[in-house]
Structure 1
């Protein structure tokens, strides 16, 4: 019995040993199959090369363009007011908003009856004053003649007194005769004083009538002015705006605003600039330079464009919120109207020895990625002079002639080797080479993909779908065959 038990134990140990050997052989065989399916030992990972769009840096003369926003304003504007009230007797058919008028055209006429009557009364008063002036002139002449006659009478009376005194001295005359002559002389002197007083009154009457004539003429002029103000005319060629709705026969009051005339050919644009922008548009004396401007108004896909030059700047910075308000006169602005909100492009003084790059090529710190002789990237600092939309103007310095990355991304940086894609080669780089596969080669490639145990199922499905196409990318075929060992 002991022999039988030992024999059975030996058989059990032999069976366990054989099972372990078979398990070891299976594990080794599975490892060999997996290794053969993977295409041999893993190859060393090559250096990653990223494609990048590059462009050359070329220096030259560039005129920066400054973009701002402003409002079109009218230079010549006339407010139409009624100098006096009255009834509207005549109205121009173009007296409406937007109506085109010419210089001297009658826009509105008030009833002139009262003004005409006042003018006629003033004319009559002037004629009466002129008649009184002529009468005063004639009276002055008579007064002068009367004074001359009185002076002559006094001279005769003086001679008569002297003659009576001479006769009395010879003893031939009497004292009564001398007294009579002296009394006549005194009367002549009194008449002379009266003539002088009459002359003074005549001269005063002439002065008063002259003043009256002047007043009458002023009244007539004022009456004619009031009569002329019953007609409202256009002072210059333009268009009407803000017209009051009046009708023929309607009443208007004195000093009432009837509308305004705007000259559409005399326009300017007012726009705001920062202090730094304004500093680039002034001369050595601090006055703004006459830089050319382009005004653009985008309307439903179309653009109304006008050109002009900077004319002046605002006197205060407070009106621009710390910046400056600049005014530019427009040469010709067809289609533009006062109040339009427009885009203003100002041509700054040109810059020499500068380069223009895409804004995506320069980071916030003013650095670009430049390509060296080994197609590796270097971080180089540049001086950013202007930013214009999606472009920047830089001082390139030593970068002239070199190539820089046009679009920075998180995948590229200093020291990385890139495959440069230059302008004109984007299409070739975007279209990989394709090859035709025979059915046997296609089946072998699909089998190699399916037998790769380390590849995720989603990736396998993607690759198999690509391999089933009529033409397959050549780099995909080369990669699968390399992993499968040929």
Structure 2
């Protein structure tokens, strides 16, 4: 009996188990069939609206600014050199790096002993030349007197010859007497010729003495100039640089010992591209465009204004563009060699607008905010780049509102919410709907049973109990409910 009872109990439990398994399988199958047969759920869809910064294109007159980099240089720079060599006896206290000197100030004095000795020798040579000239002049006078005496004697000899021939004709004189008179006359003529040669030699001696005197005067002038050049003075007011000498040192002839720079007469040299250079031309002539030079010194900008004056004659080996020069009006604080930023004012442009560079695409198009705040695309002409901004030709898009900052999310046909510059972004008023009783009850029940903080539940339930409820709130809750 015990065995039969246990067997029947086992069979009963097995039957109950099989029945439960079958019932569970039927429930799973029914749930799957119901899920597959039910209609797809539809959730309310809303168009995505993107907030964008916009600007309005207003045609105006703008002066583009071309920004380049340049180097300051002095218009007056003089190398100070010693014309003669020697030991430095005296140097100005201002003969130091950065020393300020005035025009005519004595900077350096070299030992003048050799120069004075040379000057004295030249002076002595001049005295010798003057004495030689005086002696030559006296010799000419004596030679002229000797020539006059010789001519007088020749005249007497000629008269004696005439008398001798007359006496011979009358038969009183002899032939020997005539021959003697002829020899005497010939000898007198030879003496006259010799005296003439002596006079010519004396006159030539005067010319040589005058030439020697001129050379002596030149030598003395050079010696005095060399003596004066033992003292070096400043040619103009300026500042000294690259000083390499001190008292007691020795300098050689033509050695540069310092450089004199005029810090007030400054100009800036800078290089521009060929395209930029073309914009600074007016009928082929370079414009005297105004420039502004700036230098950032410990957060304080040094600024100066000037005008373009000239351009380089050649491009230069391995260079491109054009080298321009501009003189500065007042460059207080600047020094030659400063690397500065140069801003050049180009000719003014009419009918243009200054917009952020992010508003213009690489293909020179902009996005226009049209009707219903939807975007459309328009073509513009890019004229200049000004740092983070660009200058465009407004043309047909004058008065239109464009997107100031483009992004990959924006395109033609996209609906946007414009934000004007300096304005405060205001949220669009949410769409309000009226709920029926069943829908309101389901939403309230879902919120009450949800895992939310009590204060959040209370706030949402108070919104659901109102006559009109935000469509965004309803859509968000129903998406979480799954129905």
TM-score bracket, shorter-length normalisation = 0.7 to 0.9
1:461 and 1:270 map into 2 onto residues whose CA distance is 71
What 5-or-longer segments of structure 2 have no aligned partner?
1-11, 36-40, 431-440, 461-468, 479-483
Match in the other structure for 2:206: 206
CA contact (8 A) 1:137 1:206 kept: yes
1:71 and 1:466 map into 2 onto residues whose CA distance is 72
In the alignment, structure 1 residue 249 sits paired with structure 2 residue 248: yes
2:234 and 2:178 map into 1 onto residues whose CA distance is 87
RMSD: 3.3
User: What is the Cα deviation at residue 317 of structure 1?
Assistant: 3.4
Which residues of 2 match residues 9-408 of structure 1 at below 5 A? 44-244=44-244, 246-285=245-284, 287-319=285-317, 321-408=319-406
Match in the other structure for 1:429: 426
TM-score (norm 2): 0.80
CA contact (8 A) 1:140 1:203 kept: yes
Worse overlay, 298-307 or 317-326: 317-326
Quick one: structure 1 residues 481 and 264, their matched pair in 2 at CA, closer, same or farther if it must change by over 3 Å? Answer: closer
2:429 and 2:128 map into 1 onto residues whose CA distance is 111
Quick one: structure 1 residues 370 and 163, their matched pair in 2 at CA, closer, same or farther if it must change by over 3 Å? Answer: same
Quick one: structure 1 residues 122 and 418, their matched pair in 2 at CA, closer, same or farther if it must change by over 3 Å? Answer: same
2:255 and 2:473 map into 1 onto residues whose CA distance is 95
Q: How far does the alpha carbon of each residue in 1:153-205 deviate from its partner, in whole angstroms, 9 at most, with x for none?
A: 11121112112221232233344443343333223112212211211220121
User: What is the Cα deviation at residue 406 of structure 1?
Assistant: 1.4
CA contact (8 A) 2:448 2:457 kept: no
Worse overlay, 179-188 or 314-323: 314-323
Match in the other structure for 1:3: none
Q: How far does the alpha carbon of each residue in 1:181-231 deviate from its partner, in whole angstroms, 9 at most, with x for none?
A: 333322311221221121122012112111211211121122112112111
What 5-or-longer segments of structure 1 have no aligned partner?
1-7, 32-40, 434-443, 469-476
CA contact (8 A) 2:291 2:308 kept: yes
Quick one: structure 1 residues 399 and 254, their matched pair in 2 at CA, closer, same or farther if it must change by over 3 Å? Answer: same
Quick one: structure 1 residues 215 and 42, their matched pair in 2 at CA, closer, same or farther if it must change by over 3 Å? Answer: same
Aligned length: 428
TM-score (norm 1): 0.80
Quick one: structure 1 residues 384 and 144, their matched pair in 2 at CA, closer, same or farther if it must change by over 3 Å? Answer: same
Quick one: structure 1 residues 219 and 466, their matched pair in 2 at CA, closer, same or farther if it must change by over 3 Å? Answer: farther
2:362 and 2:52 map into 1 onto residues whose CA distance is 20
Quick one: structure 1 residues 345 and 466, their matched pair in 2 at CA, closer, same or farther if it must change by over 3 Å? Answer: farther
